[in-house]
Amino acid sequence: MSKQINVALIGNPNTGKTSVFNQLTGLNQKVGNYPGITVEKKEGICKLPRGVKAHILDLPGTYSLNTTSLDESVAVELLLNKNDKDHPDVAIVVSDVENLKRNLLLFTQIKDLKIPTILVINMADRMVRKGISIDIELLEQKLNSKIALVSTRKETGIDRLRNLIADYKNLPKSQNVDISVIAPDYFERLKEAFPKEDVYKLWLVITQDVNFMPLEKTLIKDTSSFTTKSKSELKRLQQKETILRYQFINGILKETYKIDANAAKGFRATLDKVLTHKVFGYLIFFLILLTIFQAIYGWSEYPMDLIDGFFASATEWVKDTLPPGVFTNLIAEGILAGIGGIVIFIPQIAFLFLFIALLEETGYMSRVVFLMDRIMRPFGLSGKSVVPLISGTACAIPAVMATRTIENWKERLITILVTPFTTCSARLPVYLIIIALVIPEGSFLGLSYKALTLMSLYLMGFGAAILSAVILNKILKIKSRSFFVVEMPNYKLPLIKNVAYTVLEKTKSFVFGAGKIILAISIVLWFLGSNGFSDEFKNAETIVAQRIKEKGFSANSEVYFENQQETLGNNLNKEAAVTQLKDLEERALSQEIASYKLEHSYMGYMGKAIEPIVRPLGYDWKIGIAVLTSFAAREVFVGTLATIYSVGNDEEETIKNRMAAEINPRTKRPLFNLASGISLLLFYAFAMQCMSTLAVVKRETNSWKWPAGQLVFMSLFAYIVALIAYQILK
Amino acid sequence: MDIIQHILVYITVAISAFYLINKFLLPKSVWAGKKNNSKACGQDDCGCH
Residue A214 pLDDT exceeds 70: no
Q: Would you state the pLDDT for residue B38?
A: 40
Query: How do residues A687-712 score in pLDDT, each as one tens digit?
Result: 988 777 787 788 778 788 898 999 99
Q: Is residue A539, in this structure, part of any structural domain at all? A: yes
Nearest to A83 among B12, B16, B39 (CB): B39
Residue A395 backbone phi and psi in degrees, to 5: -160, 140
Residue A225's pLDDT band, with cuts at 50, 70 and 90, is: low
Determine the Cα–Cα distance for residues A553 and A549; give it in Å rounded to an integer: 8
pLDDT at B29: 63
Chain A positions in Cβ-Cβ contact with residue B41 (cut-off 8 Å): 77, 80-81, 211-213, 216
pLDDT at B46: 38
Q: Check whether residue A561 and residue A676 sit in a common domain.
A: yes
For residues A237 and A240, what is the distance between their CA atoms, to the nearest angstrom? 5
Ordered DSSP codes for A32-91 = EE-TTS--EEEEEEEE-GGG-EEEEEEPPP-S-SS--SHHHHHHHHHHH-TTSTT--SEE
The verdict on A52 and A104 lying in the same domain is yes
Residues A47 and A131 in one domain: yes
Q: Kindly report the nearest CA distance between residue A551 and chain B, in angstroms.
A: 36
- 3-class SS at A631? coil
**Shared-domain flag, residues A166 and A184:** no
B9 vs A330: CB contact, 8 Å cut-off? yes
User: For residues A388 and A469, is the Cβ–Cβ distance under 8 A?
Assistant: no
A715: which DSSP letter?
Answer: H
Give dist(CA A75, CA A87) in Å, integer: 10
pLDDT of residue A34: 45
| Residue from A362, A388, A385 nearest A372 by CA | A385
> Is the minimum CB–CB distance between A196 and chain B shorter than 8 Å?
no
Q: Is residue A602 part of a domain?
A: yes
CATH at residue A113? 3.40.50.300
Residue A664: the pLDDT is 77
Please tell me the distance from the alpha carbon of residue A508 to that of residue A318, in angstroms, as a whole number.
26
Which pLDDT belongs to residue A385?
A: 80
The pLDDT value recorded for residue A211 is 37
For residues A66 and A187, membership in a common domain is answered with no
Helix axes A280-321, A336-343, angle to 10 degrees: 160
For A151, which DSSP code?
B
- What is the C-alpha to C-alpha distance for residues A295 and A430, in angstroms, rounded to an integer? 18
Q: Are the beta carbons of A83 and B23 separated by less than 8 Å? A: no
Distance CA A371, CA A282 (A): 7
B1-19 pLDDT tens trace = 688 889 999 999 999 999 8
Residue A283 lies in a domain: no
User: Is A192 at the interface with chain B, CB within 8 A?
Assistant: no
For A170, phi then psi, to 5°, come to -90, 0
* Proportion of chain A above pLDDT 90, given as a percent: 12
- Do A118 and A234 fall within a single domain? no
Chain B residues near residue A83 by CB distance under 8 angstroms:
39, 45-47
Geometric angle at alpha carbon A390, from A384 and A391, rounded to 5°: 95
Closest CA to A179 of A242, A101, A100: A242
Cβ of B13 within 8 Å of Cβ of A216? The answer is no
Last residue of a domain, one of A209, A240, A257: A257
Q: Residue A553 gets which letter from DSSP?
A: -
Q: What is the mean pLDDT of chain A?
A: 81
Question: What is the predicted pLDDT for the residue at A427?
Answer: 87
User: Do A656 and A624 share a domain, yes or no?
Assistant: yes
Is A274 buried (19+), middle (13-18) or exposed (0-12) by CB count in 10 A?
exposed
What does DSSP say about strands A257-259 and A132-134: parallel, antiparallel, or unpaired? Answer: antiparallel
Greater confidence, A438 or A658?
Answer: A438
Do A65 and A145 belong together in one domain?
Answer: yes
Using CA atoms in the order A44, A45, A48, A51, what is the torsion angle rounded to 10 degrees?
Answer: 180
| CB distance A382 to A376 below 8 Å | yes
Helical spans, DSSP H, in A531-620: 535-538, 540-551, 555-568, 574-599, 602-614
Residues of B in contact with A201 (CB under 8 A): 48-49
Residues of B in Cβ contact (< 8 Å) with A202: 49
Q: Looking at beta carbons, which residues of chain B come within 8 Å of A517?
A: 20, 23
Same domain, yes or no: A142 and A250: no
Q: Which H or E run contains A9? A: strand A5-11
How do residues A602-653 score in pLDDT, each as one tens digit?
A: 888 888 898 899 999 989 888 888 888 777 677 778 777 777 776 555 555 5
Nearest C-alpha of chain B: how many angstroms from A372? Answer: 37
Q: What are phi and psi of A435, to 5 degrees?
A: -60, -45
Residues of chain A found within 8 Å of residue B13, distances taken between Cβ atoms? 523-524, 527
A445 part of a folded domain: no
pLDDT digits (tens, 9 = 90+) for A399-433: 787 676 676 778 888 999 999 998 887 788 889 88
Query: Are residues A130 and A235 located together in one domain of the fold?
Result: no
Q: What is the DSSP string of B21-47?
A: IIIIIS-THHHH-S---TTSTTSTTSS
Domain with A57 in it: 5-170
Residue A199, pLDDT score: 82
Nearest by CB to B40, from A213, A527, A691: name it: A213
CB burial string A240-273: b at 16+ within 10 A, e below: ebeebbbebbeebbeebbebeeeeeeeeeeeebe
Asked if residue A61 is part of any domain, the answer here is yes
Do residue A208 and residue A160 come from a single domain? Answer: no
**Rounded Cα distance, A697 and A703, in Å:** 8
pLDDT at A728 over 90: yes
Confidence of residue A555 (pLDDT cuts 50, 70, 90): low
**Residue A191 and residue A106 share a domain:** no
User: Of A233, A257, A281, which residue is a domain's last?
Assistant: A257
* Number of neighbouring beta carbons within 10 Å of residue A455: 20
pLDDT at position A495 over 60: yes
DSSP per residue over A426-491, as a string? THHHHHHHHHHHHSPS-EETTEEHHHHHHHHHHHHHHHHHHHHHHHHHHH-------------PPP
For position A70, what pLDDT does the model report?
64
pLDDT tens readout for residues A274-304: 888 888 988 998 888 778 777 776 787 788 8
Closest alpha carbon to A92 in A40, A44, A153: A44
Q: Please say if the pLDDT value at position A77 is more than 90.
A: no
Does the pLDDT value for residue A250 go beyond 50?
yes
pLDDT, greater one: A511 or A58: A58
Average pLDDT over residues A476-504: 74
How far is A193 from chain B, CA to nearest CA, in Å? 12
User: Within an 8 Å CB–CB cutoff, is residue B22 touching chain A?
Assistant: no
Q: CA nearest B45 in A: which residue?
A: A83
Q: Is A87 on the interface with B (CB under 8 A)?
A: yes
> Are the C-beta atoms of A34 and A41 separated by less than 8 Å?
yes
Query: Does the pLDDT of residue A522 top 70, yes or no?
Result: yes
Report, as an integer, the average pLDDT of A200-229.
58
- Whether A521 sits inside 8 A of B5 (CB atoms) is no
Tell me how far apart the alpha carbons of residues A217 and A194 are, in angstroms, rounded to a whole number.
13
d(CA A154, CA A152): 6
User: Is B47's CB within 8 Å of A82's CB?
Assistant: yes
What is the rounded distance in angstroms from the CA atom of residue A306 to the CA atom of residue A249? 58
Whether the pLDDT of residue A244 is over 80: the answer is: yes
pLDDT of residue A628: 80
Predicted local confidence at residue A39, as pLDDT: 52
- Find the helix packing angle between A636-646 and A496-530, rounded to 10°: 40
Model confidence at A93, pLDDT cuts 50, 70, 90, reads very high
ipTM of the predicted structure?
0.73
Q: Which of A198, A228, A257 is the last residue of a domain?
A: A257
Residue A97 and residue A127 in contact, taking contact as beta carbons nearer than 8 Å = yes
Dump pLDDT digits (tens) for A100-155.
888 899 999 999 888 899 999 988 888 877 778 888 899 999 888 999 999 888 88
Contacts with A555 (C-beta within 8 Å, 6 or more apart), sequence order: A663, A665, A668
Rg (CA), chain A: 31
Buried b (16+ CB within 10 A) or exposed e, A603-622: bbbbbeeebeebeebbbbbb
Residue A192 has pLDDT above 60, yes or no: yes
> Confidence band (pLDDT; 50, 70, 90) for A216?
very low
Tell me if chain A has a CB within 8 Å of the CB of B13. Answer: yes
What are the residues facing A56 on neighbouring strands? Answer: A7, A44
Q: What is the pLDDT of residues A530-548, one digit of tens each?
A: 888 888 888 888 888 888 8
CB A575 within 8 A of CB A582: no
Element (H, E) at A11: strand A5-11
Residue ranges with strand state E in A108-240: 117-122, 132-134, 146-149
- Residue A448 has a pLDDT of 85
Q: How far is CA A607 from CA A571, A611, A619, A712, in A?
A: 43, 6, 11, 22
Chain A stretch 203-262, residues whose beta carbon is closer than 8 A to a beta carbon of chain B: 205, 211-216
Residue range B16-26, pLDDT digits in tens: 999 888 877 77
Which residues, other chains included, contact A508 with Cβ-Cβ below 8 Å and sequence gap of 6+? none
Give the model's confidence band at A564: pLDDT under 50 very low, under 70 low, under 90 confident, else very high. Answer: low
How far apart are the C-alpha atoms of A180 and A189, rounded to whole Å?
11
Q: Is A327 on the interface with B (CB under 8 A)?
A: yes
CA-CA-CA-CA dihedral for A324, A328, A329, A334, to nearest 10? -170
Please report whether residue A292 resides in a domain.
Answer: no
Total domains, chain A: 3
pLDDT confidence band for A568 (50 / 70 / 90): low
Structural domain contains residue A416: no
**CA atoms of B10 and A725, how far apart (whole Å):** 42
Q: Is the pLDDT of residue A366 over 90?
A: no
Please check whether residue A326 lies inside any domain of the structure: no
Distance CA A356, CA A87 (A): 33
DSSP reduced 3-state for A96: strand
Tell me how crowded residue A178 is: count the other CB atoms within 10 A of its CB.
13
Output the furthest CA–CA distance in chain B (Å, rounded). 66
Question: What distance in Å separates the CA atoms of residue B23 and residue A49, rounded to the nearest whole number?
Answer: 43
- As a whole number of angstroms, the distance between CA A330 and CA B14 comes to 13
Residue A63 near residue A93, CB atoms below 8 Å: no
- pLDDT at residue A567 greater than cutoff 70: no
pLDDT at A573 over 90: no
